[in-house]
Structure 1
Amino acid sequence: MSSSDIFIGETIGTAILILLGGGVCAAVTLKASKARNAGWLAITFGWGFAVLTAVYTSAPLSGAHLNPAVTVALAIKDSDWSNVPVYFAGQFLGAAIGAALVWVAYYGQFQAHLTDKEIVGGPGAQATTAKAVEAQEQGAGPVLGVFSTGPEIRVVWQNLATEIIGTVVLVLAVLTQGLNDKGNGLGNLGALITALVVVSIGLSLGGPTGYAINPARDLGPRIVHALLPLPNKGGSDWGYAWIPVVGPLIGGAIAAGIYNVAFA
C-alpha cells in the first residue's frame, strides 16, 4: 500500500472512529440530547460499534490501525518503522477532524449544556461536590469527557497502569487474530472481534480512566476541545493528558514483546 493510501485511510477511519465514539459520549452527556443519561453500557457499545465501522471503512486503504499503539506494536513485530510517521499523521489528523464533527453535530446541545446555570453555575459559582472541586482544581471542563478521557481518582501510577493494561489486551487481540495476509492490519473478521474486545475492555477496565487505549483518540480531541469556541468550557486538563498517550504506547510495545516471545 502507498503512503497516500495509508494517510487517507487512517485519516478517514480515525475520523469515523472519533465521530461515532465521541458522538455517543455527547449523546449521553449533553443537555437536550435524546440519549442523555443512557449510561455506561451505551458508551461502551457505542465505542465498539465505532471501531467496527471505522475498521471496515479504512481497512482496504491502510489496514485500519487507527491507533498509534497498534502501529507501534506492528512496527516492533515486523521490525519495519518506515510507514510509522504516515500512520501517526493520519491518525492524529483524523481524530481532530472527528472531534470537530462531533461539535458540529451537537452544536445546539453544547450551547444549551454550557449555558445552563444548573450545570456550569452562575457568576462566581462554587463547586459543591468533592468531584466538582477536584475537576475545577485539575482544570477539567464540564464537557471535556465528550472529547477525551480523565480519571475518576487521580493516582498517577494507577491511571498509567490501567491504560497500559487495557492497551496490552487490545493490541494482543489485534496481533493474534484477524490480521490480513500482509500482516498490516485487520481483516473483516478481525474488525468484528476487535470491536467486541473494545466493548469488553470498556466494561471491565474502563471505570478508572475512561479507557483511552489510543493516544490519537485522546490527544487529538483534547486539542480540539482547547481550540473550539465553547462557552464556559473550562480547562482541557493538560496535567493528565500525557497518561493516555504514554500509557497506550507502552502497552502496545509490551503487547508486541509478548507476541514475539509467545506467538511468533
Structure 2
Amino acid sequence: MGLGTVFLSELLGTGILLLLGAGVVANVLLAKSKGFDGGWLLINFGWGLGVFAGVYIAYKSGAHLNPAVTIGILTSGADEFAPGVPVSVTSTLVYFAGEFLGAFLGAVLAWLAYKPHFDETPDEGLKLAVFSTGPAIRSYTWNLVCEVIGTFVLVFVVLALGKTPTQLGPLAVAMLVVGIGASLGGPTGYAINPARDLGPRIAHALLPLSYRGTDGEATTTGVAAKKDSDWGYSWVPVVGPIIGGALAGVAASLAF
C-alpha cells in the first residue's frame, strides 16, 4: 500500500472522528442547540461513536487516527504500522500529517455545522471547548499525569485488542473511548490524542468566530473579542499523550 493511500485514509478517518466528536461537544455546550446541556455521558458516547465511524473509514491504513497510537505501535517493536506499511521515519511522518490535517478539517466542518450557535454563544470558553480540551483544575503537572494515564490505557488496550481478536472490531475501541471518558476524562477532558487537540486548537485560532459583546451586537472576532486559544495549556494534551502512547507500546512489547 502506498503512503498516499495511508495519508488519505488517516485524513478522512480522523476528519470524521473530529467532525462527530467536536460536533457532540457543540451540541451540548452551544446556545440554542437541541442537545444543549445534554451532559457528560452524551459527550462520552458521541466521541466513542466518532471513533467507531473513523476506524471504519480509515481501515486501509490500520485506522490509527491518533499520533499516540502510531507512536505506541512504533515503540512496541512492530515491523508494520498496517499490512503492507513498514515502520519507518517516512511512514511515521505520513501518519502524523494525515492525523493532524484531518483533525483540523474535521473541526472546521463542525464549526460550519454549528455556525449560528457559535454566533449565539457569548462565552468564549465554551466555544474553545468545542475545539480543544482544558483542565478542570489547572495544574500542569497533574494535568500531564492524567493525560499520560488516559492515553496509556487507550494505546495499551488497543494493542491488546490487536493481539486478541474479539470479533467486536471498531466497536471495542469505541467502547474503550467511552469508558476512558467516563472514568478518566474529568480532570482534563481526555484529549488522549495530540492531533485531536492541536489540530482543532489551530482551527479555533484561525477561524472567524464571532463574539457577542456586552451591547448584544455580534462582532467579528478581533482584539476586542478577546479570543483565547489557551496556548499556555496546549502542550499538555500533546506531550501527555505522546508519553502515554510510548510507554504503552513498551509495556505491550513486554506483556504480549
Report whether the alignment pairs 1:108 with 2:116: yes
RMSD between aligned residues: 1.7
AA in 1 matched with 2:108: A
Indicate conservation of the 8 Å contact 2:30/2:126, yes or no. Answer: no
Deviations 1:130-183 (A, max 9, x none): xxxxxxxxxxx3411000000010111110000000000000111011469xxx
Q: Which amino acid aligns with 1:36?
A: F
Aligned mate of 1:81, from 88, 101, 105: 88
d(CA) in 2 for partners of 1:203, 1:159: 17
Where is the strand percentage greater, Structure 1 or Structure 2?
2
Paired residue total? 233
| Contact 2:29–2:126, Cα closer than 8 Å, also in 1 | no
- 1:161 maps to what in 2? 145
Cα distance in 1 for residues equivalent to 2:150 and 2:169: 18
Q: TM-score, normalised by structure 2?
A: 0.87
User: Where do 4+ consecutive residues of structure 1 move more than 2 Å?
Assistant: 79-82, 186-190
Aligned ranges for residues 138-217 of structure 1 at < 5 Å? Answer: 141-178=125-162, 189-217=168-196
1:189 match: secondary structure: coil
Letter in 2 for 1:250: I
Residue 188 of structure 1: CA displacement?
6.9
**Partner of 1:253 in structure 2?**
246
Q: Distance in 2 between matches of 1:214 and 1:169?
A: 12
Residue 67 of structure 1: how far off its partner (Å): 0.1
Does structure 1 residue 55 correspond to structure 2 residue 34? no
Which residue is equivalent to 1:137?
none
Question: 1:256, CA displacement in angstroms?
Answer: 0.6
Q: Are 2:10 and 2:99, in contact at CA under 8 Å, matched by a contact in 1?
A: yes
The answer as to whether partners of 1:163 and 1:251 remain within 8 angstroms in 2 is yes
1:38 maps to which residue?
Answer: 38
Structure 2 gap ranges (5+): 80-86, 212-224
Q: Which runs of 5+ in 1 are unaligned?
A: 121-140, 181-185
Query: Which residue identity lines up with residue 41 of structure 1 in the other structure?
Result: L
Q: TM-score, normalised by structure 1?
A: 0.85
Which residue does 1:68 correspond to in 2? 67
Equivalents in 2 of 1:261, 1:52: separation in Å? 28
What is the CA-CA distance between 1:187 and the residue it aligns to? Answer: 9.7
Query: 2:21·2:50 contact (CA, 8 Å) conserved in 1?
Result: yes
Corresponding residue for residue 98 of structure 1: 106
Instruction: Give the letter aligned to residue 103 of structure 1.
Output: W
What residue identity is the alignment partner of 2:88?
W
Deviation at 1:244, TM superposition (A): 0.2
Structure 2 residue matching 1:152: 3-state secondary structure = coil
CA distances 1:189-247 after superposition (whole Å, capped 9, x unpaired): 33111111100000000000000000000000000000011123620000000000000
1:56–1:188: 8 Å Cα contact kept in structure 2?
no
Percent identity of paired positions between Structure 1 and Structure 2:
55
Evaluate the alpha carbon distance shift between residue 237 and residue 40 of structure 1 in structure 2; reply closer, same or farther with a 3 A threshold. Answer: same
